[in-house]
Amino acid sequence: MNNPKIQGMDPAKLELIKMAAARTSGKSGRELAPVMLALIAGANRQGIRFSPDEMSLIVEIIKEGKSKEEQEQIDRTLKMTSSVFQKHMK
């Protein structure tokens, strides 16, 4: 969460990202999809849309501190569910 790319981000988006980071702590790649969908659904309810760059940043933050294998699993999981995420982004 100390990533300089999040400086100046909309506070509402930042709060959602912090919640997602807390919820994904200790989770495997397969367990991330429901958390990401919940993040997007929560944002949508508040009228918030994440840009593709912001979604990439969220994934980058979630992958921080994870092993290379876990990061690859996260990438595979997100690739499999990317069509769902694409519908909810700008």
For the full predicted model, state whether its pTM sits above 0.85. Answer: no
pLDDT of residue 9: 83
Task: Give the pLDDT of residue 90.
Answer: 46
Spatial separation of the C-alpha atoms in residues 75 and 90, rounded to whole Å: 20
Q: Which residues contact 13 (CB under 8 A, 6 or more apart)?
A: 43, 48, 50, 54
- Digitized pLDDT (tens) for each residue of the chain, 90 residues in all: 567 777 778 888 888 878 877 877 777 767 777 777 777 788 888 888 888 888 888 888 778 778 898 888 888 877 776 665 555 554
- Residue 75 has what pLDDT? 83
Q: What integer pLDDT is reported at residue 6 of this predicted model?
A: 77
Structure tokens at 45: 């309810």
Query: Which residue type, as a one-letter code, is found at position 78?
Result: L
